[in-house]
Amino acid sequence: MKRNQISLLALTALLAAPACADDAALREQAKGLFEVIPMQAPQLADNNAVTRDKIDLGAKLFFDPRMSKSGVFSCQSCHNVGMGGVDGLETSIGHGWQKGPRNAPTALNAVFNIAQFWDGRAPDLAAQAKGPVQAGVEMNNTADNLVATVKSMPGYVEAFAKAFPGQSDPVSFDNFALAVEAFEATLITPNSKFDQWLTGSDSAMSEDEKAGLKLFIDTGCASCHNGINIGGNGYYPFGVVEAPGAEILPAGDTGRFKVTKTASDEYVFRAGPLRNIALTAPYFHSGKVWDLKEAVSVMANSQLGAKLEDKQLDQIVAFLGTLTGEQPEVMHPILPARTTETPKPVQMN
């Protein structure tokens, strides 16, 4: 080997060494704050066994608009699994074309959240599944009407019996919720660039993306957005340092206070999970911000009192882009046929 070739190899190794050391140090720091999305659905906290029969039933119920009183809206309407688990609207449209009060959170990776909804009023996905069904501004149905609808279709009766074997009356509102929960538990997005990097692949993230991760940690973003879902596991006031303007934080929505009736919970919300955040605009519970870079700037100013430079914002946005994982490929299920006994949809005014 020629001397200049040896020198070139030595120089390359010298230049590479600090980068590897930096990667190792940053990875060690990140491992203390974040976790990797698993490749399979986790065991549910409420001991709802995730079986194939239950998942298949839950998928049917998730996609079936007949679970709404009008026959127009399904869970999929607001949590579109082909669009990052959201509907891409400021706030969702429900029964009677009413606008909901808050932006629809993503259903993807929701199983990893500490609780469901922006205010955490549902402890798990099963409890969450019951809410929109009965909300007048959403699906505007009742538990009794939903059960009557399901029981009128032999295909559903058979599917419930398979999903909940041994029960004398398996078609119930509780079992509806458990089946939807089991399906939603499968809506996870593993193998993101960040997860690949966190498990040891230095080349999975670019230098700008790594710089963005370091800024995300050092600026303080990770104090609220951490854990497996990079958020979704704690409650914080919106506007710790400086309340954002009314164009972002409309007056009247007092957040978790509506649940706890505790004064210290006024304008407190669950920290939004940041997995797949590049896919889920618009942002915040109000859905008022459509640009991710603007959302980062708002949070830096309002929550941390940090005035980030343009390049720093770009780097954090670059890092957030690495949180997009493999999207679940869900085939729209064939739904059981209605019968003459199936309650007719109620026309919307």
Q: Catalytic pick from 90, 138, 181, 184?
A: 138
Annotated binding-site members: 75, 78-79, 95, 221, 224-225, 299
d(CA 267, CA 245): 13
Longest alpha-carbon distance in the chain? 88
Domains 26-39+189-322 and 52-185 share a fold: yes
CATH topology for 52-185 is Cytochrome Bc1 Complex; Chain D, domain 2 (1.10.760)
Q: Are 289 and 248 in contact (CB under 8 A)?
A: yes
Q: What is the pLDDT of residue 265?
A: 84
pLDDT single digits (tens) 133-166: 999 999 999 999 999 999 999 999 999 999 999 9
pLDDT single digits (tens) 164-221: 999 999 999 999 999 999 999 999 999 999 999 999 999 999 999 999 999 999 999 9
pLDDT single digits (tens) 209-258: 999 999 999 999 999 999 999 999 999 998 888 888 878 887 788 889 88
Best CA proximity match to 343, nearest among 62, 61, 60, 71: 71
User: 138 an active-site residue?
Assistant: yes
Summary mean pLDDT of the chain: 92
Quote the CATH superfamily of domain 26-39+189-322.
Cytochrome c-like domain (1.10.760.10)
Q: What is the pLDDT of residue 21?
A: 62
The pLDDT confidence band at residue 266, using thresholds 50, 70 and 90, is confident
- Confidence check: pLDDT of 3 > 50: no
Q: What is the pLDDT of residue 9?
A: 42
- Confidence check: pLDDT of 311 > 90: yes
Q: Are 277 and 292 in contact (CB under 8 A)?
A: yes
Domain ranges of the chain: 26-39+189-322, 52-185
The pLDDT confidence band at residue 20, using thresholds 50, 70 and 90, is low
